[in-house]
Amino acid sequence: MSKPVILAIDDDVSVLEAVVQDLRRRYGANYRIMRAASGHAAIDTCAQLQQRGDVVALFLSDQRMPGMSGVELLERAQTLYPNAKRALLTAYADTEAAIRAINTAKIHYYLTKPWDPPEEMLYPVLDDLLESWSHGYKPPFEGLKVIGPRWSLRDHQVRDFLSRNQVPYVWLDPEKSDEAIGLMERYKIDEKRLPAVLFPDGTSLMQPSHTELADRIGLRTQAQDEFYDLAIIGAGPAGLAAAVYGASEGLKTLVIEPEAPGGQAGSSSRIENYLGFPSGLSGADLARRAYVQASRFGAEFLTQRATSLRMKNDYRYVVLGDGREVACRVAMIGVGVDYRRLSIPGIDQLTGAGVYYGAAMTEALSCRDEEIFLVGGANSAGQAAMHFAKYARKVTMLVRGESLEKSMSKYLIDQIADTPNIDVETHSQVVEVFGEQRLECIRVRNPQGETQRQASALFIFIGAAPQTEWLPDTIMRDPYGFILSGPDLRIEGRLPRIWKEDRDPYLLETSTPGVFVAGDVRHGSVKRAASAVGEGSIAVQFMHQYLARF
């Protein structure tokens, strides 16, 4: 295949030449750098590229051009190459128009002239845009294939694991795909052994566990060493932030995560109120960036489940799902929370077969032209509703409260109101689900009574349930399972008896010295990605204070 194209557009020949030279110096090895001296010439070039089947990764256009401005060109480019990144080069006087264009023309970034030195003013921005583009770019596929029926919990779990770990794959439903049937015959796969994962080298796995999949796709499932300065349990935003700051400040850091970086936030389709990302970003993109950043600083990631935590002398030992242990000087618990389970008739047998907890982005394409229901009224439910509205014929949000105002950000409320195929039904709740092999309908209760609705999918977002039952009793929790820390450990002004230190606990320190907590699993936390990142970052400062005492 030919290289993806970066197309530079400027009517000033000298400026265009300078742009092209800077682009070739940095990106020439992986991209084909092309130029156009006007907006119309750029459109003609795109037409030729499309005829040859070439792909444009990035448009970099000047704003002030006769005949067609940069904003107008990038608007038209969006229809020709909708997945390409679009950046605008502007003079300082045009910055206000450029900012408006981010919303109106869906431009991803603007840069002001001059961009010298490019190492500081140009490349960091384009690196970020091209990395984001390459993550979503799908060349002719030669990777993993997953064969499994849509209405299967195990098939959903396999696809969700691969998706959240950002492993590309093609999913083939044997009920709809002749290719799936042919592959099953070729590999002699009985339908009772589905789902099956087929690898490019001709090997396969039947009904694989997460650990088996992790081994095959190259994730680390065994720690490189037996001892670390810092062990972080959970790779949500708090854990990832602690990994970045811990590793960058010289702590030998291990991150233990059973599924994929990002936690609950990693399944968010779009986060638009995260500082520094005016166009928004997905939870998966945020997790990917943080994972790469922590890895660059030397943090080690381990795909395992922590099953216990014990203390001996000045060390903490994390027991893993495979029975092994890793020792550390300090530990941080950042396991986050799961969505609470609905306790209604029919729900258990249909989980994974039309009923899903969380956004389940792997199911979005399967919902095309269908009517689906979402339960919940917080930001996660609103983000999911906006995402599924791109595919489903109709999205109905069932909200127990009287409105969305108390639990959802204003920007999401406005977006939902402006989306014609999203309905919000307040004072409503699901009381029963029905179906034989898959979800077929739900029973909804509201002040007018109960009605039965046909439904192909039900996505549930009903609050936080901390997963802390595996922790020892020495780590105090509130009645709901959230971990107490710092000042919250005091009962009637006094520290608990299990606290043996001659000092007060640090702000994010649990009732076990040297064990810290951050993020949604902490009692009293603000359930936002940015606050979890903040807690994970400052927890490292308290760890240093703890370690300095030895």
Q: What is the pLDDT of residue 98?
A: 66
Question: In sequence order, what are the residues at sequence separation of 6 or more whose Cβ sits closer than 8 angstroms to the Cβ of residue 58?
Answer: 6, 7, 31, 84, 85, 86, 87, 126, 129, 130, 133
- How many structural domains compose the chain? 4
* Backbone dihedral angles phi then psi of residue 107, each to the nearest 5 degrees: -75, 140
CATH number, residue 192: 3.40.30.10
Q: What is the pLDDT of residue 89?
A: 86
Distance of CA 319 to the CA centre of its chain: 27
Query: Domain check: are 300 and 448 in the same one?
Result: no
pLDDT at 1 > cutoff 60? no
| pLDDT (average), residues 8-12 | 94
Q: What is the pLDDT of residue 93?
A: 57
In a domain, 218, yes or no: no
Question: In sequence order, what are the residues at sequence separation of 6 or more whose Cβ sits closer than 8 angstroms to the Cβ of residue 41?
Answer: 9
Q: Are 345 and 432 in contact (CB under 8 A)?
A: yes
d(CA 301, CA 470): 21
Is the four-CA dihedral 279, 284, 285, 290 of positive or negative sign? positive
| pLDDT (average), residues 315-323 | 94
pLDDT at 166 > cutoff 90? no
**What strands lie across the sheet with 441-446, from one edge to the other?**
429-434, 441-446, 449-454
| pLDDT (average), residues 327-333 | 98
Average pLDDT, the chain: 90
d(CA 308, CA 134): 39
Q: Which two tokens stand for residue 469?
A: 């039952």
Beta-bridge mates of residue 416 = none
d(CA 340, CA 349): 17
Q: What is the pLDDT of residue 448?
A: 93
At 119, which helix (H) or strand (E)?
helix 118-121
Q: What is the pLDDT of residue 536?
A: 96
Encode pLDDT of 243-286 as tens digits.
999 999 999 999 999 998 988 777 777 788 888 888 888 888 89
pLDDT at 188 > cutoff 60? yes
Query: Domain check: are 433 and 486 in the same one?
Result: no
Query: Domain check: are 309 and 371 in the same one?
Result: no
Q: At what angle do helices 237-248 and 283-296 cross, to 10 degrees?
A: 20
For residue 201, what pLDDT band results from cuts at 50, 70 and 90?
Answer: confident
Query: Domain check: are 104 and 198 in the same one?
Result: no
Query: Domain check: are 378 and 400 in the same one?
Result: yes
Domain that holds residue 173: 144-213
| pLDDT (average), residues 59-63 | 92
CATH number, residue 107: 3.40.50.2300
**Which of 236, 238, 242 is CA-nearest to residue 262?**
236
Distance of CA 509 to the CA centre of its chain: 27
| pLDDT (average), residues 334-362 | 87
Q: Are 155 and 161 in contact (CB under 8 A)?
A: no
Q: Write the CA distances from 228 to 314, 325, 327, 442, integer angstroms.
A: 13, 11, 6, 50
Q: What is the DSSP letter of 230?
A: E
d(CA 499, CA 490): 10
pLDDT at 105 > cutoff 70? no
Query: Domain check: are 100 and 157 in the same one?
Result: no
- Residue that terminates a domain, selected from 85, 102, 136: 136
Beta-bridge mates of residue 205 = 197
| pTM, entire model | 0.73
- Greater confidence (492 vs 400) lies with 400
For residue 418, what pLDDT band results from cuts at 50, 70 and 90?
Answer: very high
Q: Write the CA distances from 268 to 165, 235, 404, 537, integer angstroms.
A: 14, 15, 18, 21
Q: Are 242 and 220 in contact (CB under 8 A)?
A: no
pLDDT at 95 > cutoff 70? no
Query: Domain check: are 233 and 159 in the same one?
Result: no
pLDDT at 359 > cutoff 80? no
| pLDDT (average), residues 215-238 | 94
CATH number, residue 326: 3.50.50.60
| pLDDT (average), residues 404-413 | 91
Pick from 141-145, 147-151, 284-288, 329-333: least confident: 141-145
Q: Is 231 left (phi over 0), alpha (psi -120 to 50) or beta?
A: beta
Query: Domain check: are 132 and 11 in the same one?
Result: yes
